[in-house]
Amino acid sequence: MTQTVELPLWLFVLIVVFAAVTFASHFLFPSVRWFFRRRLEKAVARLNERLQRPIQPFKLARRHDMIQRLIYDPQVAKAAQVHAHETDIPEGVAYEQARRYAREIVPSFSAFTYFSFAIRVARLLSNAFYNVRLSYEDENALKEIDPQATVVFVMNHRSNMDYVLVTYLAAQQSALSYAVGEWARVWPLSRLIRAMGAYFIRRKSGSDLYRQVLASYVRLATEAGVTQAMFPEGGLSLTGAPGRPKLGLLKYIIDGTTPEGRDVVFVPVALNYDRVLEDTILTAAAENSERRFRARIGVITRWSLKQIWRRLIGRYKRFGIASVRYGMPISLHDFRECESRDLMTDLARELMKRIGHAIPIVPAPAACWIVREEGPMPEDQVKARISDLMRSEGGVRETDSVAITEAIDQLVERRILCRESGNLKPSVERLNLMNYYAASAALEKNEAYAAIAKENSATAGS
């Protein structure tokens, strides 16, 4: 027992390393994890005191534990058995496939990343690019939402800035959990998005097992009261107008609730911009009748460097107004009580209707709509109509006249509209962009616009 044993140096070092790792994993790491976990819990408790809707424990659960909970969910287990039978593979292989789907879907939310990093970046980008405005159809209706209800923000999808803008504006309410498409599954962007609590979805998966794993995750999150955000259109609008809703996520949310359980309140959120950063890409995709569009990294880099250079030489201008308007919320419990032939379809139709009704008036789209529908018009008259519309929606702001002038100047600079003898008229060069912005104005259903147009028509006739 006391004899000397000779070992090669490399083997001695290896033994010491293994011993150190074993000691750390059994004695040191648990204590360190407990220490930081306690600090995190205290920080989240302080954060929840200022949030309107506190962060639910479901979002703070360890990702590994959530994956385990998901793959052993009875509905997923049954789907794995059915998948194994239909594809003639062992059940163990089907369960491993379900595990891969769960790893792909489940986020790894970090309160520090979300509130200390993401919110600040979102605020910086939003205010750097736009003059941000927030309004409500009925602010009291939002404040009166049951604190125990699961809130789902349902938004029209105009730009990838939608994620940034709503994350920034909802910072005082709660941490949002987004459903993000496959475009964002690129390292290191995917790690950041997961840390923000977003979950990835495959838009066109043909696997019943995958859909069941996704449905179970959405059901568990909804039951736990996690605040969510979704784009029912499923992708960016290529025409500028709100598109037809896709019912997948909405179905999973409805299927995961019961009339006796926790209520789900859907909050319509309408967004509109004086300028959509991807407008030329989207209109080109619309002309090609193809949703597959991808901005090249070289184009993005040149555009970013150009904006940085403009800021350095003092010639940088923001892209106008980015406006967000909250519509009237819908309680799923109340909606269920109404006689409905098809709950899911009727709810989707009502949500899109309320989003359309809440779309805010911003100068550039309004100018495109007015000029397209009524033909060449004196610029002062166009500005007056836009001012009246913005006033009818939410009062007068001192900066409205400046914002309207800058928006029209931007349209002229980009050759979407042109000036001729004091009149504004469509430019033949970029009619596709004029139609794109006119469609986003949604003035054909705006009661204020109809009243103003009727009054102007009567004045002209007399």
249 contacts: CB under 8 Å, gap ≥ 6? 179, 201, 218, 230, 232
- The domains spanning 105-277+319-358 and 363-461 adopt the same CATH topology: no
Q: What pLDDT shows up at residue 139?
A: 86
List, for residues 164-180, the tens digit of each pLDDT value.
888 888 877 777 888 77
C-beta separation of 123 from 165 below 8 A: no
CATH topology assigned to domain 363-461: Sec63 N-terminal domain-like fold (1.10.3380)
Is the per-residue pLDDT at 154 higher than 90?
yes
Q: What is the mean pLDDT of residues 406-430?
A: 92
C-beta separation of 266 from 152 below 8 A: yes
Whole-angstrom distance, CA of residue 217 vs CA of residue 223:
10
355 contacts: CB under 8 Å, gap ≥ 6? 154, 155, 156, 242, 268, 269, 270, 327
List, for residues 208-223, the tens digit of each pLDDT value.
899 999 999 999 999 8
List, for residues 112-123, the tens digit of each pLDDT value.
778 878 888 888
| Confidence class for position 27, pLDDT limits 50, 70, 90 | low
- pTM for this prediction: 0.83
284 burial type by CB count under 10 A (0-12 exposed, 13-18 middle, 19+ buried): middle
Half-sphere exposure of 336 (CA within 13 A, CB side): 14
Two tokens, residue 152: 């789902």
453 contacts: CB under 8 Å, gap ≥ 6? 374, 385
pLDDT-wise least confident of 109-118, 133-142, 211-220, 406-415: 109-118
Domain spans in the chain, listed from the N-terminal domain onward: 105-277+319-358, 363-461
Q: Which residues is 268 bridged to in the sheet?
A: 154
Residue corresponding to tokens 């009243």: 451
Nearest to 121 by CA among 189, 35, 181: 189
List, for residues 60-99, the tens digit of each pLDDT value.
777 888 888 888 899 999 999 999 999 899 988 999 999 9
Residue corresponding to tokens 């996690």: 226
Is the per-residue pLDDT at 5 higher than 90?
no
378 cis-preceded (ω within 30 degrees of 0): no
> DSSP letter string over 384-438?
HHHHHHHHHHH---TTHHHHHHHHHHHHHHTTSEEEETTEEEE-GGGHHHHHHHH
C-beta separation of 397 from 314 below 8 A: no
Is the per-residue pLDDT at 263 higher than 90?
yes
Q: What pLDDT shows up at residue 350?
A: 93
C-beta separation of 369 from 435 below 8 A: no
| Confidence class for position 183, pLDDT limits 50, 70, 90 | low
Is the per-residue pLDDT at 32 higher than 90?
no
Domain covering 105-277+319-358 in this structure, CATH number = 3.40.1130.10
Two tokens, residue 92: 């163990």
Is the per-residue pLDDT at 359 higher than 70?
yes
Which is more confident, 148 or 50?
Answer: 148
Q: What is the mean pLDDT of residues 122-139?
A: 90
Q: What pLDDT shows up at residue 300?
A: 63
| Confidence class for position 406, pLDDT limits 50, 70, 90 | very high
Q: Average pLDDT of the chain?
A: 82
List, for residues 447-459, the tens digit of each pLDDT value.
655 565 566 655 5
Q: What pLDDT shows up at residue 276?
A: 93
Q: Which amino acid is at 48?
A: N
Nearest to 43 by CA among 115, 99, 142, 141: 115
Nearest to 201 by CA among 169, 175, 235: 235
Q: What pLDDT shows up at residue 30?
A: 55
H-assigned helices in 288-341: 297-312, 332-337
